[in-house]
Structure 1
């Protein structure tokens, strides 16, 4: 794949920071409109998928939802779920499918406004740009609670982004903290490998994999859920910061039922609230967490039933879920006897400290409308629920990229910006 190098002091009409799916989708749309730009990627294309996902990782949405602009999935298994290495290959092939002006191995370290528009500092020099698109994603710094410091130094502690496989961990029981998508799937991975798992639950909801003859994702797509803009919801913040539903695409796709794991020997607990020496304490909310996850799952089925009835669709009937296990007594404490490792599946936090432009709210979240900030020529892409459910995913980022490319083109016309001649530009080399 042709590569680019950059020169210190170069000026670009548009700089895109981040070469993941959001940055590449933006580049494709800019290229389609004839807009000159450069894409800066700190590592390699697909590095987030390559370096922060475990060995058995796979998508939780069907392959047909991989719809990057100009490059929809066209493999032999549209209803399957690509595994980690296939996802990396999909992105690498996408980057090779068009003349992407990509510079790999260049990290942006600072962004501020200047007379030319924006100054982008990197570990390879300083660039300026008329407009900048930030495609750095939401999963930047692993979040581990400070209480982890209280655990004995003899325990192996990993964040979910560092977990690869059960053999990576020492023999003994494993404590997994968190039941979002990563925590639930890692707990299953360990459980299937025969490891004794202690799983600390949270408030994440779950969703069925299949219902009434189709993948639930296919039903929701047909119902228009994924095309619904965030502005159509009554409480934008509650939607934007919603925890993802847990489910898996492993082995062709199936539900993740924590209650079933419990019948097979996995130990479940409520929220972790304290660590004191060799003892962990939990909130008495395990039953509430399980009931909430099931209620959300069944509520989604209710909406599918209503859709089927409204349109008179012929679909097979399916019995509803019945809980296979109930916690008789909620354990509120646990000693570390037998536990040798901890996997913290506690999410990520943003790190925008390098962005020295006033576009953040009191929580440090970028303020924007569909990725367009209040600072002229500065944009975000790839944020969860930036506009729709699919904004941060393979399924919806194309629409966001097209919208931003239109905004970028319109601003160029409004401001009368022309390519600046005589300034050093990127030059092509062969990787």
Structure 2
């Protein structure tokens, strides 16, 4: 917890708002939409520019992995002519630009929040830094809508790799041509890692992929997108407390699949049969060699088991409801590793660059309130914390699968806006 004390004499008078929304992505803008509907004065603070993540932290060939019909921000659903397609990066940005205009939120861009703390007279003090200027404002209630992906994860062993190896994180990757000549090591096989490996592979680059424990799912099964089936099965309406893993589902790695070129499976085994080199999880770098865990086979098998298990649940749903659908069959491996390779000589490999795709850590160190668990994650129920007047929005599985996505953030924002507008009503329900 921070030991800072509030600025005694801020360089400009303290402003006060009923609500301060921190973060100007789709979550913060969705919150603003509902607050405006209720006539609640507020401000949205964004340290960079609104929806900047979609413009600045996606590779050139990026496309949504969920179908366009799931893009349902408040008052602004997808209205294009391809609801079952997958918007590409430039289309996503254009759609979000329209949402920004639609909401017309009271945003202050380029304002970084450095501290949120209780205010002696009630409510919250929000300290900010804008370039060389620093100040503060106060708010009766605060919504943290800054997401949960803040600090890129890069292992300390990266410091020991030769300076000649170009290292970037997944959010910095743009295209294969931007990387130096030579093979590319992609570390991690979650959504970003698998899709970046595919992008490099399709461009003709030699790819070495360190495969982690990420699961995978089919793009299409029995005549429809798997997302359509799961929607009919009400999976996307399941609240976190009803999920078999409960809050543990928030730690799950996303299934890898792609919306590229109209959507398809990502089959790492197929890539291997075409020349991509697959290894187990990267463990260390020592004596000039990359060291991998002997778990490639197990990780591939586990991903396929998840793939088949999801499809089997669809089979049961079809049978139980008497739905006329094309037949389906389990996935069968098209390639199997003959042995577990646990070392790769870096010089001999020809690797000239590494793309780290092992995720992000949340960083809420600037929130000076006792609401976090032992891993620095906020404790909350549907975004409502134990600190009266403090809320979170846009986190993965905040309430449902779609909470951190275009499909579910509107429902969460509407719920919190109602809570903010009439907290006594909710207190009565709890009682």
Query: Which of the five TM-score ranges fits, normalised by the shorter chain?
Result: over 0.9
Aligned to 1:225: 235
Does the CA contact (< 8 Å) of 1:172 and 1:196 recur in 2? yes
1:43 to 45, 48, 52: 48
1:263-292 per-position Cα deviation (integer Å, ceiling 9, x unaligned): 000000011111113201111110000000
TM-score by length of 2: 0.93
Aligned to 1:395: 407
- The question of 1:332 aligning with 2:342 is answered yes
Does the CA contact (< 8 Å) of 1:45 and 1:91 recur in 2? no
Aligned to 2:186: 176
Farther off after superposition, 108-117 or 365-374: 108-117
1:310-341 per-position Cα deviation (integer Å, ceiling 9, x unaligned): 01011111333211000011111101121111
Summarize the Cα distance change of 1:74–1:308 in structure 2 as closer, same or farther, 3 Å threshold: same
Instruction: Give 3-state SS (helix, strand or coil) of 2:59's partner.
Output: coil
TM-score by length of 1: 0.93
Name the CA distance, whole Å, in 2 between partners of 1:139 and 1:152: 28
User: Where in structure 1 do 4 or more consecutive aligned residues deviate above 6 Å?
Assistant: 412-415
Please show how residues 44-193 of structure 1 align to structure 2 within 5 Å. Answer: 44-114=49-119, 115-124=121-130, 125-193=135-203
Name the CA distance, whole Å, in 1 between partners of 2:123 and 2:68: 39
Aligned to 1:341: 353
Instruction: Give 3-state SS (helix, strand or coil) of 1:390's partner.
Output: helix
Instruction: Give 3-state SS (helix, strand or coil) of 2:127's partner.
Output: strand
Summarize the Cα distance change of 1:106–1:413 in structure 2 as closer, same or farther, 3 Å threshold: farther
Deviation at 1:47, TM superposition (A): 0.5
- The question of 1:380 aligning with 2:386 is answered no
1:227-269 per-position Cα deviation (integer Å, ceiling 9, x unaligned): 0001112432321211100000000000000000000000000
Aligned to 2:35: 30
Does the CA contact (< 8 Å) of 2:32 and 2:103 recur in 1? no
Alpha-carbon RMSD: 1.5
Farther off after superposition, 377-386 or 402-411: 402-411
1:108-142 per-position Cα deviation (integer Å, ceiling 9, x unaligned): 11110102410111114211000000000011111
Aligned to 1:365: 377
Does the CA contact (< 8 Å) of 2:29 and 2:103 recur in 1? no
Instruction: Give 3-state SS (helix, strand or coil) of 1:391's partner.
Output: helix
Deviation at 1:412, TM superposition (A): 7.5
Name the CA distance, whole Å, in 1 between partners of 2:66 and 2:320: 26
Summarize the Cα distance change of 1:8–1:84 in structure 2 as closer, same or farther, 3 Å threshold: farther
Does the CA contact (< 8 Å) of 1:208 and 1:216 recur in 2? yes
Name the CA distance, whole Å, in 2 between partners of 1:384 and 1:400: 12
Instruction: Give aligned pairs, total.
Output: 410
Does the CA contact (< 8 Å) of 1:116 and 1:128 recur in 2? no
Instruction: Give 3-state SS (helix, strand or coil) of 1:387's partner.
Output: coil
Aligned to 1:198: 208
Does the CA contact (< 8 Å) of 2:240 and 2:399 recur in 1? yes
Instruction: Give 3-state SS (helix, strand or coil) of 2:247's partner.
Output: helix
Deviation at 1:414, TM superposition (A): 9.2
2:416 to 375, 393, 404: 404
Does the CA contact (< 8 Å) of 2:215 and 2:253 recur in 1? yes
Summarize the Cα distance change of 1:112–1:283 in structure 2 as closer, same or farther, 3 Å threshold: same
In structure 1, stretches of 5+ residues that fail to align are 1-6, 416-431
Farther off after superposition, 340-349 or 313-322: 313-322
Name the CA distance, whole Å, in 2 between partners of 1:179 and 1:66: 25
Instruction: Give 3-state SS (helix, strand or coil) of 2:401's partner.
Output: coil
Does the CA contact (< 8 Å) of 2:240 and 2:247 recur in 1? no
RCO higher in structure (CA 8 A, sep ≥6)? 1
In structure 2, stretches of 5+ residues that fail to align are 1-11
